[in-house]
């Protein structure tokens, strides 16, 4: 990658403070924190992470505890101390909408405002409209947090619509910079599997759709569809994983439906390039799932529910299929179509790869962030 360089790379003028969390747990926001820090460093910026870690694994996300309260107080102090002593050129702040985390983030935003920091809010989730709708006080909090930023970076148009109504300052620009995957191999050539293979790739936790995937896989299996099905991802919820294993065993389908466990690095890319299609069965309000972008990079068609920011990624009927949330019958039918139509799969694969190259590459990501941090203008 030949990334654009910052206008000044010496001293504090190249300093960028990032308030976020690295893995674990492993999910889109923590992965993109690592990705952003890496690309900024390779683009000539000096970065410092203020870690906002509250959860060690995916099962702890959303749980309240006294330990998390103490960690929040520590985050506020470390934010203030780093601003005052390190004096960064800009602060990139990964803001969230989960109730407890949002309140912690609101205090962070007030600290940044008090210190006069040049703040870039990096939004990886939807939900600001819902928070503001809770009442006048919540509406005030949302407007204060979003109004503290000089720039707001969202992942796509869906997230712009979620924040734009609460940005009152005309000088605050809301822009889109799409995610880009990490660890992408130099060559990614889909490998035609000996048997059609449908892949699930996500955390096995409630809402992420592992149970929905098994329902669809069992329906196709019982219907005589000549294909295999693989669930790849860590079992963040042991009870759900046990239920899934039991359903597969009861249907005597373990030879056709397998659970691979957690995959990463070369193993993950092998799973993707060896898939016929990716079944993204999550019914959560996802912002911009990296898994879908990774599938696009591999030229793998995706079937997904039409929720959150997913329609920003998939062009229905061109790079994959979108299905109304909860309509498992329609989802099953779309997967069946892809499994039975090699010509359509090839056409969608080429379109998915072209879409990735046009809007989700590392070079585009690096150039967009350099423009934001140097104040070179809006990125669309």
Residue 4 in any domain: the answer is no
Side-chain half-sphere CA neighbours of 310 within 13 A? 25
Q: What is the pLDDT of residues 241-258, one digit of tens each?
A: 999 999 999 999 999 999
Q: What is the pTM of this model?
A: 0.84
> 127 and 246 share a domain?
no
Q: What is the pLDDT of residues 317-337, one digit of tens each?
A: 999 999 999 999 999 999 999
Asked whether the predicted pLDDT for residue 9 surpasses 60, the reply is no
Supply the CATH number for residue 335's domain.
Answer: 3.40.50.2000
Q: What is the pLDDT of residues 58-94, one digit of tens each?
A: 555 556 678 888 999 999 999 999 999 999 999 999 9
Residue 202 in any domain: the answer is yes
> 162 and 213 share a domain?
no
Report how far residue 294's alpha carbon sits from residue 268's, in angstroms, rounded to the nearest whole number.
10
> 135 and 209 share a domain?
no
Residue written as token pair 């890496």: 38
Residue 22 in any domain: the answer is yes
Residue 368 in any domain: the answer is yes
Q: What is the pLDDT of residues 201-212, one digit of tens each?
A: 999 999 999 999
Distances (CA, A) of 249 to 208, 217, 218, 257: 21, 13, 11, 9
Report how far residue 146's alpha carbon sits from residue 150's, in angstroms, rounded to the nearest whole number.
9
Residue 1 in any domain: the answer is no
What stretch of H or E contains 19?
strand 15-20
> 41 and 165 share a domain?
yes
Q: How many residues does the chain have?
A: 380
> 144 and 279 share a domain?
no
Domain hosting 213: range is 196-359
> 260 and 158 share a domain?
no
Pairing verdict, β 151-154 and 119-123: parallel
Residue 302 in any domain: the answer is yes
> 173 and 272 share a domain?
no
Which residues, 6+ apart, have CB-to-CB distance to 68 below 8 Å? 54, 100
Report how far residue 215's alpha carbon sits from residue 334's, in angstroms, rounded to the nearest whole number.
14
> 90 and 112 share a domain?
yes
Number of domains in the chain: 2
């Amino acid at each position: 990658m030949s990334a654009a360089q910052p206008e000044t790379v010496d001293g504090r003028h190249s300093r960028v403070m990032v308030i976020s969390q690295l893995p674990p747990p492993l999910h889109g926001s923590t992965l993109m924190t690592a990705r952003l820090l890496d690309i900024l460093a390779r683009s000539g910026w000096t970065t410092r992470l203020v870690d906002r870690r509250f959860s060690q694994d995916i099962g702890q996300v959303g749980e309240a505890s006294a330990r998390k309260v103490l960690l929040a107080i520590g985050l506020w102090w470390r934010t203030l101390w780093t601003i005052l002593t390190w004096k960064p050129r800009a602060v990139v702040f990964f803001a969230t909408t989960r109730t407890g985390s949002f309140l912690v983030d609101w205090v962070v935003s007030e600290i940044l405002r008090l210190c006069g920091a040049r703040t870039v809010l990096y939004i990886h989730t939807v939900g600001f409209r819902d928070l503001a709708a809770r009442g006048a006080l919540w509406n005030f909090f949302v407007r204060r947090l979003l109004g503290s930023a000089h720039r707001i970076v969202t992942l796509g148009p869906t997230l712009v619509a979620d924040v734009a109504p609460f940005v009152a300052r005309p000088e605050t620009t809301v822009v889109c910079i799409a995610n880009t995957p990490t660890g992408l191999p130099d060559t990614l050539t889909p490998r035609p599997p000996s048997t059609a293979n449908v892949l699930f790739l996500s955390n096995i936790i409630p809402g992420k759709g592992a149970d929905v995937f098994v329902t669809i896989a069992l329906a196709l299996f019982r219907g005589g569809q000549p294909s295999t099905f693989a669930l790849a991802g860590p079992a963040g919820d042991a009870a759900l994983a046990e239920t899934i294993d039991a359903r597969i065993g009861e249907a005597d389908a373990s030879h056709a439906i397998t659970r691979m466990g957690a995959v990463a690095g070369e193993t993950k890319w092998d799973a993707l390039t060896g898939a016929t299609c990716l079944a993204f069965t999550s019914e959560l309000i996802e912002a911009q799932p990296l898994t879908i972008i990774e599938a696009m990079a591999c030229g793998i068609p995706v079937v997904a529910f039409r929720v959150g920011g997913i329609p920003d990624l998939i062009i229905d009927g061109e790079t994959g299929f979108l299905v109304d949330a909860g309509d498992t019958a329609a989802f099953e039918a779309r997967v069946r179509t892809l499994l039975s139509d090699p010509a359509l799969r090839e056409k969608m694969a080429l379109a998915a790869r072209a879409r990735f190259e046009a809007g989700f590459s590392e070079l585009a990501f690096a150039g967009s962030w350099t423009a934001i941090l140097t104040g070179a203008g809006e990125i669309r």
